[in-house]
Structure 1
C-alpha cells in the first residue's frame, strides 16, 4: 500500500498565475513535498505523504484552490494557448479569445475538453472527448466528439461560435453522461439534441496541420521579447526552484506561466533587460535548457516511473545509433485508459497464455497514418515484441518513416470521412508446442530463455537435442496445439 496521496491541480487552458502557483507550492513545501511534476493535460501533480494531508488541505481551502486527491475525475480543459505568439502567428485566434472562452466555463467538466489552434502541432487536437479546433472563419470552431471509452471521432456539421463553447460543453456533457442513456451509441441522436446556438454551416472538413514539433526549450527571441522553455529529463521540478521562478515572474511583471503537454514550462514576455535574472536562476538550480531534440519529442503517460525509464532507455539507444527522428513524436503507454499524443506509439501489455495465465510483458509498436500524431487511423508496425528487441524494432519503424519522407510518400494528413480507426487484422489463435509430461509451452514468439533460444525460432528449427526447460523431456515429446490469443489494448 502506498504511503502518499497523488494530488492533481488543474490550470484551465494550461495557464498558471505565478501568485496562485506560488501559494500551492508553499503549501506543498510546508507539507514536506520537495518535487512536483506536470501532466499531459497541463496539470500540476505531486505526491503528498499521509501525515501531512490535513495541513495541505486546510491551506488549499483557505486559498480557495481546488485539487483532486487520488482521483482525476475532473480532467483539465487543455488548450494551445501556450503556442500562441511563440510557435504560431497570423491567425485570428489570440490570447484574449482563449481567455474569454476559458472564463465562461462555470462548472468542472467530467469530460476531457480540448481547445486547439488549427495552425499549430504543439498540442493535440483529438485527445479530448469534446475537441474544438479553430476554423478559417474568425471566432468559429470545428467540433469533433469522441465518446468515452471509444476511439472513434465524429464531426459536427456546423461551426461553433467562440462564446457558445462553454455552454455547449455543459449541455453535451449532461446528455452524454446521463443515467438514462450512458455513453450514447447513436452519435446522430446526440447531434440532434444540440440546442440552437450561434453557428455557421461547415463547408469543408478540417485538414490537420502537418506535424512539426518546435524546439520548446531554452531562451528564444520573438518580436522584442524573449520566451523561456524549461524541460526536466526526470519530469521532476524542484519546489524551491519553482517558488523562485514564480517570485521572479512577479518581480518582472510576468502575469502567467504556461504548462505544456510535454510536461514542461514556458514563460513568455521576458524583457531583454531582465534576461540576466532568468539566466541566474537557471544557474542557481543547475537547470539545463539544451537537450537533444530526439529526447524532447516524447509523450509519456503521467506519473509513471516505468514508462519514463523506458523512454530514457530508448532515447539512449537512439543516441548510440545516431538516429534521425525529425518530424516524429513518440508515445509510451504501460497501463490502460491513458491518452498519449504520438506519431509512433509503444504500448506495453501482458501476454496471457490460454487466455488467462499472465505471461511476459510484450510491446506493440503502432503508428498513425502519415505519421501525424493528430491522425486517428492506426496501423501496427510490429506486435508482441520482447523488451530486449524493442529498441531495434522501433529503429526500423523510424527508418520506414525516413524512407517514406525521402521518397515523398508522406501525404498531408486529413481526417477520413468515416473517422474510424483501422488496424491490421489480429489472429485469434496461434500454434505452439506443449510438453505432454509437464505441459510447458514452447512459443516461437518468446523462445526459451533457459535453453538460450532467442525469440523467432520456430519449433521445427530447434535441434533434435532440445529438451523441455522444466522436466527435460525430449523434443519428440512435444505436441503441436492451437491456443487462443487475448489482445489487450492499452
Structure 2
C-alpha cells in the first residue's frame, strides 16, 4: 500500500479564482496537507497521507472538484494569460480574448493544449499537442499540431477564429486518438469531413520571437497598480500562505490568481492602499522575493525531488563560478517520458537497468536549435556524464552560448571617425538597483514616488525604495552615465 498519494487539480489556462482555490486548499488542510506545489502545466499539486485520502476524496467529490490521483490523464490547458498585462507585447490579445478561448472548451482534453501570445517568451509555444498561437490577424489563431511522444510539429493550414478553438480541438483530438500517428494531410481531411468552422487561410508562417525570460518575482509596477510574483526555491508553498493570499485577494476584490509554467504565482491588480497588507503577508510567512534571475530560469518535473535537488546543486556551482546565464533557461528531466521546457536540457538516465530497478545514473546534456527553448530540435552537447562532471560541462555550454552571442554581434554598427570626434558630456551620477537594474536619474526624479526632477540622490528620504522592486536605497549602486 502507498504511504502517500499525489493529487492533481487542473486550473485551465493557469487561472484560479481566489474563492475556488481557498475552497480546495481548505479541504487539503483538513486532510493534514501543509504544503502545495504548482505544476509545469499550471496545475495545483499536493501530497496526502493514505490514512486521510478517503476523507479528502469525499470532501472533493462533495464540492464537485475534479481531481486525479497519481495520474495525468487530463494534462490541463495552459496559457500565457499569466503574463498578460504585466509583460506587455503590444498584441491584440487581452484578458477577455483568453477567456473566450478557454470558455470554448466544453470538455476536458486528453491531449495537451497550449494557448499562447505569439509576441511573448514567458510561456512555451510547442509543449502541447494542440498549440494555438495568436496570429497578426485579430481574433484568429495559428494552430500547430504535434503528435503524442513526437517532436515533429506541423502548421494547420487555417487560422482559427477564437470562438471555434475548443470545438475544433475536440474533433482533432478525437481523430488523433482514433488514428495513431495519422499524417498531416489525412488528419486535415478527416477533420474537415467532420466539422466546418470559421477560419482564414494561414498564408504566412509564425515568426518566433527571440527568447528572453522576464523577471517574474517580487512587487512590480504596471500602469497605476502593482503585480506580485512569488517563487519558492523548493517549489513548495505553505498552505497557510496560500490561504492568506486567497483571503486578501477576496478582500481587495482581485478576481484571479495566475499560475505560471515556472511553478510560481502571479497576483495582478494590487491597489496601492493594499500594498502594506501584501507586504505583511510576505513578512508573516518569511517569504523572500529577491532571488537571482539565474535561479528563476529553471524548470523541473512535477512530483520529483531529484530534479529539484540537482537544480540547487547546479545553481550553487553557477553562482560560485559567476557564470553568465542571461538569455538561457534550463530544464531537468529525470523520468524517461516526461517533458520539460528549456534552451538547455539535462536528461538523467540509468547506466544499468535490471527490470524496474535502475542502477547508477548518467546525464546527457542537450541544447535547442539557436538556444531557443521553443525549438523542437535538440542537439546533443555531451553524453554519459557522471553527476560530478555535469556542472563543468554545463558551464562550457553556457560559454558556448555567450561566445555565439558575441559572434552574432560582430557586425554591429561601429561609429565613423567623425562620430568619435563628437563631444562627450559626463552627466551627474545615477544610481542603479542591483536586483531589477532600474536607474534613478536626478535629471528626471521619480514620478511614482513624487520625487521632482532635479532631486539629487543624496537628498532622497532614507526610506526611499526602488520604484520597480522596492529594494532599499542603501542597496542602490552609483554609476556614471555618459552620453555623446
Using the size of structure 1 for normalisation, the TM-score is 0.81
CA distance in 2, matches of 1:356, 1:142: 42
Report SS of the residue matched to 2:408. coil
Q: Which moved more, 1:392-401 or 1:102-111?
A: 102-111
Deviations 1:198-239 (A, max 9, x none): 111112111111101000000000000000000000000001
CA-to-partner distance for each residue in 1:382-420, whole Å, 9 max, x for gaps?
Answer: 111111100000000000000001111799xxxxxxxxx
The aligned runs of 1:335-354 (5 Å cut-off) are 335-352=335-352
Match among 189, 192, 195 for residue 192 of structure 1? 189
For residues 223 and 35 of structure 1, the distance between their equivalents in structure 2, rounded to whole angstroms, comes to 34
Matched, 1:10 2:10: yes
SS in 1 for 2:326: coil
1:88–1:119: 8 Å Cα contact kept in structure 2? no
Query: Runs ≥4 in structure 1, deviation > 2 angstroms?
Result: 351-360
1:255 maps to what in 2?
Answer: 255
Give distance in 2, aligned partners of 1:17 and 1:337. 32
Counterpart-to-counterpart distance in 2, 1:283 and 1:406: 42
Summarize the Cα distance change of 1:364–1:355 in structure 2 as closer, same or farther, 3 Å threshold: farther
Aligned to 1:38: 38
Query: Match for residue 373 of structure 2?
Result: 373
**Counterpart of 1:168?**
168
* Deviation string, structure 1 residues 466-485 (Cα, Å, up to 9, x no partner): xxxxxxxxxxxxxxxxxxxx
Q: 1:278 to 1:355 in 2, by over 3 A?
A: closer
In structure 2, the residue corresponding to 1:177 is in which secondary structure? Answer: helix
1:404-458 C-alpha deviation (Å, 9 max, x unpaired): 01111799xxxxxxxxxxxxxxxxxxxxxxxxxxxxxxxxxxxxxxxxxxxxxxx
Q: Is the 8 A contact 1:18 1:255 kept in 2?
A: yes
RMSD: 1.8
Moved more, 357-366 or 315-324: 357-366
Q: Which residue of 2 aligns with 1:214?
A: 214
Deviation, structure 1 residue 360? 3.1
CA–CA distance in 2 between the matches of 1:314 and 1:220? Answer: 28
Structure 2 vs 1, CA of residues 353 and 110 (structure 1 numbering), >3 Å: closer, same or farther? closer
3-state SS of the aligned residue for 2:229? Answer: strand
Partner of 1:96: 96
**Corresponding residue number in structure 1 for 2:299:** 299
Q: Which sections of structure 2, spanning at least 5 residues, go unmatched?
A: 412-484
How far off its partner does 1:353 sit?
8.9
Question: 2:87 is matched with which residue?
Answer: 87
Cα distance in 2 for partners of 1:103, 1:226 equals 27
Structure 1 equivalent of residue 311 of structure 2 = 311
Residue 53 (structure 1) aligns with: 53
2:104–2:164 Cα contact (<8 Å) kept: no
d(CA) in 1 for partners of 2:6, 2:163: 34
- State the shift of 1:89 in Å: 3.5
Runs of at least 5 residues in structure 1 that lack an aligned partner in the other structure: 412-490
Alignment of 1:478-489 (within 5 A): none
Single out whichever of 350-359 and 88-97 deviates more from structure 2. Answer: 350-359
Q: Secondary structure at the match of 1:249?
A: helix
Alpha-carbon separation, structure 2, partners of 1:191 and 1:326: 40
In 2: Cα distance, 1:358 partner to 1:214 partner: 38
The answer to whether the Cα contact below 8 Å between 1:135 and 1:141 also exists between their aligned partners in 2 is: yes
Residues 4 and 357 of structure 1, relative CA distance in 2, 3 Å threshold: closer
Paired residue for 1:73? 73
For residues 111 and 355 of structure 2, the distance between their equivalents in structure 1, rounded to whole angstroms, comes to 33
Counting only pairs closer than 5 Å after superposition, residues 80-479 of structure 1 correspond to structure 2 as 80-178=80-178, 181=179, 183-195=180-192, 196-352=196-352, 360-408=360-408
Distance 1:141 1:55, change over 3 A: same
What secondary structure sits across from 1:88 in the alignment? coil
Q: Is the 8 A contact 2:89 2:120 kept in 1?
A: no
Per the alignment, residue 430 of structure 2 pairs with none
Query: In terms of mean alpha carbon deviation, does 143-152 or 221-230 score higher?
Result: 143-152
CA distance in 2, matches of 1:104, 1:202: 21
1:62 is displaced (CA, Å) by: 2.1
**Are the structure 2 counterparts of residues 43 and 271 from structure 1 closer, same or farther at C-alpha, using a change threshold of 3 Å?**
same
Give the stretch that moved more between structures: 394-403 or 153-162.
153-162
Is the 1:404–1:410 contact (alpha carbons within 8 Å) kept by the matching residues of 2?
A: no
